[in-house]
Amino acid sequence: MSNRGTVVAFFSHSGENYKVGTIETGNGRIIASMISRMLGVPEYEICTEKGYPDDYEECSRIAKEERESNARPSLRFPLPDITDINSMILVYPNWWGDLPMAVYTMLDSIDTNGLKIYPVCTHEDNGLAMTDRMLMLAYPDASVMKGLAIRGTAVQERSDEVEESIRKYLEKVGFSLHS
Ligand SMILES: Cc1cc2nc3c(=O)[nH]c(=O)nc-3n(C[C@H](O)[C@H](O)[C@H](O)COP(=O)(O)O)c2cc1C
């Protein structure tokens, strides 16, 4: 399979992070750039206009409120151009067992019909949880493919292992690796 028509879209939060202390580069951002380099495809960052506080408790509170109200926070960057895109590797953290609401804002705003979505979820215990099913339910016209769960602490502490597991995953789901 050629990687043409593939984009890596990611949401990632830096600052104080669960179990890993304060980090300058979020786990998902690190993973997204690994994937983008391995496949030679572009990245798109999903980022809200307002952003989220660095403080973990405060960020958690806002994330919970947004989830409970099924919010669609507005995005800082223009939407990704998906004219020639058929596959999206979607990197996001598990936030309260769900995707950050900003990811829904992005997906609600593009044409997901026929889009293959590969969920790559960073977490600290709960893996993908039900996030792949939530994507299937929310975007029935897309094809949600087999996903990958990666522990955030592993990204910070054992990046070689993480890189290897991403490599294996990408090959398994049929991408061709560049580097
Ligand atoms: C608001 C918030 C909620 C979270 N909820 C969960 C959770 O329910 N289950 C879990 O395993 N990890 C949870 N985490 C941990 C993150 O998923 C984990 O630290 C992830 O690697 C963060 O990725 P990032 O650095 O790219 O944002 C949560 C973190 C935050 C900030």
| pLDDT (tens digit per residue) in 73-108 | 999 999 998 999 999 999 999 999 999 999 999 999
For 15-57, the pLDDT digits (tens) are 877 777 788 899 999 999 999 999 999 999 999 999 999 999 9
Decide if 178 is inside a domain.
no
Q: Taking the model in full, what pTM does it have?
A: 0.97
Decide if 179 is inside a domain.
no
- Which pLDDT score is estimated for 178? 83
Decide if 42 is inside a domain.
yes
- Which pLDDT score is estimated for 1? 57
| Cβ count within 10 A of residue 109 | 13
CA of 92 to the centre of ligand 1 (A): 9
Decide if 122 is inside a domain.
yes
Q: Does residue 60's CB lie within 6 angstroms of at least one atom of ligand 1?
A: yes
- Which pLDDT score is estimated for 179? 67
Decide if 134 is inside a domain.
yes
User: Domain containing 72: what range?
Assistant: 6-172
Q: What is the number of domains present in the chain?
A: 1
Q: Ligand 1, closest atom to CA 56?
A: 31
CA of 1 to the centre of ligand 1 (A): 32
